Amino acid sequence: MKFFVDTADVSEIQELNALGLLDGVTTNPSLVMKAGRDIMDVTKEICSIVDGPVSAEVTATDFDGMMTEAAVLSKIADNICIKVPLTFDGLKACKALTTAGQQVNVTLCFSANQALLAAKAGATFISPFIGRLDDTAIDGMEIIADIRRIYDNYEFETEILAASIRTVNHVKEAALIGADVATVPPATLRALVKHPLTDKGLEAFLADWAKTGQSIG
């Protein structure tokens, strides 16, 4: 499974990338607002840090507007992935952009039918929102499983990018189902390494080592 980090915070991206954990980055208008920086400046800096795809989202809702904004965003760097909403105009833009060789992430997916349409439109990535479905009392993991089965049935190359991840269990379940990518908030990505038995075991090892009076080197 690939790990993307879902943030526009450059310091977080630099730290996680240095650990070798990042395969890409996803951003959206809300994350750019939270970062408090110009979208062009912060996206360009992010693209210079990571080698993988960096999703930059259009804000226009009509086809012509999306294409105009996509032309601007795509010039930021070669690893830009244009993010479009799952609407008919978004699918139209997806088809036009991918036909021209541009990576496209179709976002705000909440059903397997929507994901099927995105794959037909040639999407590079489809972003089903797990956490937001959970918020409506629908098991978000079911959509990942449904999309995986549909894509496998017809050998679609669109990658399933599990989004709106809230917990470490979301990551594990998405991996078990076979999502290609998980885009994860920095805090959740860091939490994947934690386990109380790891901490307890390390504490015991260090205590025993101290009793030997030895040092390495």
Instruction: Dump pLDDT digits (tens) for 99-150.
Output: 999 999 999 999 999 999 999 999 999 999 999 999 999 999 999 999 999 9
Q: What is the pLDDT of residues 13-41, one digit of tens each?
A: 999 999 999 999 999 999 999 999 999 99
Q: What is the pLDDT of residues 173-192, one digit of tens each?
A: 999 999 999 999 999 999 99
Q: Which residues contact 111 (CB under 8 A, 6 or more apart)?
A: 143
Alpha carbons 110 and 128: distance in angstroms, whole number: 6
**What is the radius of gyration, based on Cα positions, of the chain?**
20
Helical axes 140-154 vs 112-120, angle rounded to 10°: 40
Confidence of residue 98 (pLDDT cuts 50, 70, 90): very high
Q: Specify whether the CB–CB gap between 30 and 7 falls below 8 A.
A: no
Q: Read off the tokens for 127.
A: 């972003």
Alpha carbons 40 and 77: distance in angstroms, whole number: 10
Which is nearest to 4 in space by CA: 158, 171, 177? 171
Element at 31 (helix H, strand E): helix 29-35
Residue type, 100: A
Q: Is 83 a catalytic residue?
A: yes
Q: Read off the tokens for 44.
A: 């360009």
How many C-beta atoms lie closer than 10 Å to residue 45's C-beta?
16
Maximum alpha-carbon separation in the chain? 72
Average of pLDDT values for 61-76?
Answer: 98
Q: Please tell me which residue in 83, 95, 120, 200 is annotated as part of the active site.
A: 83
- pTM confidence score: 0.95
